[in-house]
Structure 1
Amino acid sequence: MKLLFSIILLFMFNSKLTGQTYKDSILDFQNHLNEEYSNPEESPLTKKDIKKFKGHEYFPIDESFKVKAQFERVDDAVPFLMKTTTSRLPTYEIYGVATFELNNQEFKLNIYQSHKLRETEEYRDYLFLPFTDLTNGDSTYSGGRFIDLEIPTSDHITIDFNKAYNPYCAYNPKYSCPIPPPENSLPIAIVAGIKKIKK
């Protein structure tokens, strides 16, 4: 999934430079995600599924699902083995805790850092936000969705649920995907970002 991480981080950077409108930046993100999945050399889709892939379905773009969260760095975080959809157990740690308001309710989500990725120059600033919500199994993938982030330079971090995407194992069981920890289960419906793929 490294290529997907690169694309997402590139869009986070480019949108700051080009002065795009918010809606345009999300549309570009969605279009490039569709292009990647349509490309046989990059797509996680099976050969059978890629032939009939017409693009992802997304919720309507809603800027209210782009939240500015208070970010508290976790000191002396204890590394742990994150469960995945296979027997693989990659090492992560809780890098920080994001506290934010959505629909007049306060929520907290843990934001993680991969020990493996932080050893590489390209992904040393990469943070990982897996989450579940009340749309899972209905309009979105049952196993939750992911958001890619960068280490913030202040005590705030922006979480944009319009950029939530599916793990590769939502498309192809050959992939091993992290399972969102229980503490990152949101008791609301996040009607933003990608929907589940229809087969």
Structure 2
Amino acid sequence: MTFEQAWQRWRDEREAELRSPEGFLAITGLHWLSAKPQRFPGVPGVWSKAPEGAVVELGPGEWLELGGTTLAGRYVFGDVDPVGVVATFDTGTVEVADRFGTPVLRPRQPDGPFLRDYTGTPTYAPDPAWRLIAAFTRYATSRPISVGSVVEGRSSVIDAVGEVAFDVGGRPQRLIAFDGGDDELWLLFTDETSGVTTYAACRQLAVEPPVDGKAVLDFNRAANMPCAYTIHATCPLPPASNHIDVLVEAGEQTPPRAPAD
């Protein structure tokens, strides 16, 4: 497979993910649970945050399905993690997850406005010159780093596992790398295109496991975070040091965003 063919396969898979009726473009709301029981548009049940975690009270005729089990009456989700769980109902799904220590609900509908009006993500043309080799320095132990988020006043802690160092046009760059799972690295970064041709807050790059202290950074696959597409996202922001001081004219550009209904 050629470089261009491999990139096009990545683009096709990425677009399929974005257009999924269960993806983040299908999210229609971001609801923070509190001790006060509340109903939310388009979601069965009355929801609250109890000492034992997220709780739903399902009324007559209301149901959710979770892991093949149909829920009715009172159900305790407990202390969900950031990945959360997804329950289904007759017209959609609802994600129950933790954000910044608070349980949240994010319902998804296949006809939600952000998904319904999505027209595709523009990209730079693939260029092998943006496939860079970086030196990877692994920390002796992972370092929890507090980072901001697109949600005003909220921050989160994510594990940094090391740093990647590389040159772009003779200019040295160094980025903190986070744990991407399965020994992969995850980079959050801005560059001189941010807020011009690419999304202002940041982009992300998944990096395959380093080999012998070397990591391949293919910026042709630099991707937007969910917050570039929807107001119902809680994306982390990169550390201030994760700025590349050149134009990284590779990867995804700023997408059009549908107005929220």
Pair 173,137 (structure 1): closer, same or farther in 2 beyond 3 Å = same
Compare the two structures and name the one with the higher helix fraction.
1
Structure 1 ranges of 4+ moved more than 3 A: 87-90
Compare the two structures and name the one with the higher strand fraction.
2
Aligned to 1:177: 235
Question: Number of matched residues?
Answer: 172
Aligned to 2:177: 111
The code of the aligned residue for 2:164 comes to: A
TM-score, normalisation: structure 1:
0.79
Match of 1:51 among 84, 98, 116: 116
Match of 1:129 among 168, 181, 187: 187
Distance 1:77 1:41 in 2: 32
**Bigger relative CO (Cα 8 Å, ≥ 6 apart):** 1
Q: Which has the larger radius of gyration?
A: 2
Residue 169 of structure 1 deviates from its aligned partner by 1.0
Task: Indicate conservation of the 8 Å contact 1:71/1:99, yes or no.
Answer: yes
TM-score, normalisation: structure 2:
0.61
In angstroms, what is the RMSD of aligned CA positions?
A: 1.8
Distance 2:233 2:247 in 1: 26
Distance 2:231 2:115 in 1: 15
The code of the aligned residue for 2:167 comes to: E
Task: Indicate conservation of the 8 Å contact 1:132/1:145, yes or no.
Answer: yes
| Structure 2: tracts of 5 or more residues without a match | 28-111
Distance 1:172 1:155 in 2: 37
SS of residue matched to 2:250: coil
Alignment of 1:23-38 (within 5 A): 23-38=4-19
Distance 1:196 1:165 in 2: 10
Residue 40 of structure 1 deviates from its aligned partner by 1.6
Distance 1:35 1:64 in 2: 26
Task: Indicate conservation of the 8 Å contact 2:118/2:256, yes or no.
Answer: no
Match of 1:156 among 210, 214, 223: 214
Residue 78 of structure 1 deviates from its aligned partner by 3.1
Same amino acid, percent of matched pairs = 24
Task: Indicate conservation of the 8 Å contact 2:19/2:25, yes or no.
Answer: no
The code of the aligned residue for 1:155 comes to: G
The code of the aligned residue for 2:163 comes to: V
Aligned to 1:168: 226
SS of residue matched to 1:82: strand
